[in-house]
Structure 1
Amino acid sequence: MNEIIEKIRAEFSQAVQSVKSPADLEPIRVKFLGRKGLVSTSFERISELPKEQRPLFGKALNELKKELETQYQALAASFKDKEAAKRRIDLTLPGRKPFAGRKHPLLKVADEIKQIFTSLGFTIEDGPEIETDFYNFEALNIPKTHPARDMQDTLYITDDILLRTHTSPVQIRVMQRQKPPIQMIAPGRVYRRDTPDASHSPFFHQVEGLVVDEGITFADLKGVIQAFAHRMFGPDIKVRFRPSFFPFTEPSAEYDFSCVFCKGKGCRVCKNTGWMEISGAGMVHPNVFKAAGVDAEKYTGYAFGMGIDRIAMIKYAIDDIRIFFENDIRFLNQF
């Protein structure tokens, strides 16, 4: 009995002395401690012994098994410690300064736009980017057969669900839940099926404004746009309005700012006109009031919009909208 145990112990000691890497451990475990290893098969020989010797042999084998397992685990742990030491950080290396993040230029401009309008008494409203056809088109006086839809052909999820093409749906939602007076802006991302180029992107950022109350006139609209232009680009900026058409406003207009680069003298950026096109505006159409549940006989209002990306391009003299979305660290570090 003792001879069997001592023989296994001696063979194990000799085997572990030849271990050079973690790969050498598994064969040893299988040979001595596996299901068909030397220790396990020795238990099968208990039945060959006289009854009075069986308990002693079984106890001795259990002690041997624990002894070998302890040695095996200690040897395996020593290899793990060596591997960990290899991967340990070298504290003698010079440290690296943490990378300082910066706010994206579009977020900087969006925050500045919000600050300007909130200082004028506007609230900031938000709405879903996935909209229904009703809020995105129907309620804005753009029925399914209206040709104005061709200008905003967009990304549909179903026949009635789409990615919003403007933040105007937020205006409808606010008018539905809040009685006038209303004075709000709705900034956010919008989506259109555009091929990316220097001035177009399938998604971009827009802010739209809405004011509804008794006695609101086009003069109020012009005053707000001019106040914004002066706050954003300086007191020398001029504003002009040109007649235009939008289904959701009547009368409608496009508005331009005098070129911030040439001060209205004419340059390559403004195509030698002295003016930079910003966006559209107008008095809210009675049909829009009707769809939102506002009394068009009692209230009037104006709405306007502008592209945040467009304002940022003008403010920072950037000639390609795509650079905003490429995440080039060399570009972002400038801000």
Structure 2
Amino acid sequence: MSAPNKSYDPVEVEALQPEVVERVRDEALAAIAAADSLDALREAKAAHAGDRSPLALANREIGALPPQARAAAGKRVGQARSEVGKALAARQEELEAERDERVLVEEAVDVTLPYDRAPAGARHPMTTLSERIADIFVAMGYEVAEGPEVEAEWFNFDALNIAPDHPARTTSDTFFVEPLAEAGAEQDAGLVLRTHTSPVQIRSMLERKPPIYVICPGRVYRTDELDATHTPVFHQVELLAVDEGLTMADLKGTLDHMVQSLFGPGMRTRLRPDYFPFTEPSAEMDMLCFHCRGESVGNPDRPCRTCSSEGWIELGGCGVVNPKVLVACGIDPDRYSGFAFGFGIERMLMFRHNVTDMRDMIEGDVRFTRPFGMEI
């Protein structure tokens, strides 16, 4: 039986020889110093400080040494591994600092660049103009009234003194939601998409007691083809005043105030005789051309494209409320009288802003709405 190997010299183990440990340490330190990125440093760490690195393998050899030889070998290898660990930590701190400085430069935010990369929208000019018109009359003491867009025939036609054989009640002019009333049946049997906002006036007279002063803006429907000057869906605003002693003079003064509020001082209106079933007498309302103010009439040196040198622009219909309409709503025509008028808001928008194609108003293109701004 052989005796214990008490004379074993750890220097004879190649991995633990001082010069080998020193060389492996120097190679590790050189690789760490040469790492120019965090990725390269991770590779160097795996190669020189990982579980399969030369120093890690040398450390495993220490356990096979006799007790009296382990202290010196462990101290030598431990010191080398400590130097490599400190070098790794220092180099990582340097590379992270370089990375942070590079990020500050490469990913810097230029606060002078435009922040609104997405194009901003704007309120539609139809909305702005509708609210502006309503504000004019609210300031005069009127109330904004609304009603359903799907109406019974009675509200849309009969109560407004529009006869059953009137052309407006045919399918070529009106969208019917339910079929036309059959002969002999009640005329309110049919449902239509309202062709004007006048049904709101009827509802207002049924729900309120005179005096009544209401403004009725809203969407209406006609069987028109979509083109530059027509659309099957458009907006109207109508006004109704019912009180004791109202006359055409009150109507004229109200119209003058409206056009002056919308187009500036000096504007005025004129009335031309016309016929509407729901007003008597009835008139077409014209306003002075806001562009030439009538100076183009008979003046070939100053033609006006807005009014075709006529000096006036047709705006809408108006008149004194027909007594038959008052009776249909339960109002005594011997005591009360009233006046009403209505016009298309799209048409007003075209006048005020020289819009030439009505299709631009409904296509939703922000290039059309944005120039009008965000006026409230």
Residue 182 of structure 1 is aligned with which of 187, 212, 216?
212
Kept in 2: contact 1:148–1:247 (CA 8 A): no
Matched, 1:224 2:244: no
Shift in alpha-carbon separation, 1:184–1:152, aligned structure 2, 3 A:
farther
* 2:147 maps to which of 116, 127, 139: 127
CA pair 275-149 structure 1, distance change in 2 beyond 3 A:
farther
Deviations 1:136-193 (A, max 9, x none): 0000001211245469811111120110000000010111111100000100000000
Change (3 A) 1:92 1:185: same
Matched, 1:191 2:228: no
Per the normalisation by structure 1, the TM-score is 0.70
Judged with a 3 Å threshold, the aligned counterparts in structure 2 of structure 1 residues 206 and 152 are, in CA distance, closer, same or farther, namely farther
Whole-Å separation in 1 of the counterparts to 2:138 and 2:337? 21
Give yes or no for contact 2:238–2:341 (8 Å, CA) kept in 1: yes
Find the aligned partners of 2:267 and 2:228 in 1 and give their Cα distance: 25
What is the aligned counterpart of 1:306 among 343, 354, 367? 343
Q: 1:109 to 1:250 in 2, by over 3 A?
A: same
Aligned to 1:138: 158
CA pair 222-244 structure 1, distance change in 2 beyond 3 A? same
TM-score, normalised to structure 2's length? Answer: 0.62
Matched, 1:270 2:307: yes
Aligned match of 1:101: 121
1:173 and 2:210 matched: no
Which position in structure 1 is the counterpart of 2:283?
253
CA-to-aligned-CA distance 1:84-111 (integer Å, 9 cap, x gap): xxxxxxx878895264331111111111
CA distance in 2, matches of 1:174, 1:332: 33
User: Gaps (5+ residues) in structure 1?
Assistant: 1-90
In 1, the alpha carbon distance for the partners of 2:355 and 2:371 equals 12
In structure 2, the CA distance between the partners of 1:163 and 1:148, relative to structure 1 (3 Å rule), is: closer
Structure 1 194/93 Cα, relative in aligned 2: closer, same or farther at 3 Å?
A: farther
Please give the alpha-carbon distance, in whole angstroms, between the structure 2 residues aligned to 1:152 and 1:276. 28
For the Cα contact (< 8 Å) 1:152–1:165, is it kept in 2?
Answer: no
Aligned residues: 246
Q: Which runs of 5+ in 2 are unaligned?
A: 1-106, 180-189, 297-303
**Partner residue of 1:19?**
none
Moved more, 151-160 or 111-120: 151-160
State the alpha-carbon separation in 2 of the partners of residues 162 and 259 from structure 1.
Answer: 36
Could you say which residue in structure 2 is the equivalent of 1:243? 273
- Counterpart code for 1:284: V
* Aligned residues with identical type, % of pairs: 48
Alpha carbons 1:140, 1:248 under 8 Å: kept: yes
Aligned CA distance change for structure 1 residues 306 and 251 (closer, same or farther; 3 Å): same
Tell me if 1:321 matches 2:358. Answer: yes
Q: CA deviation at 1:298?
A: 1.0
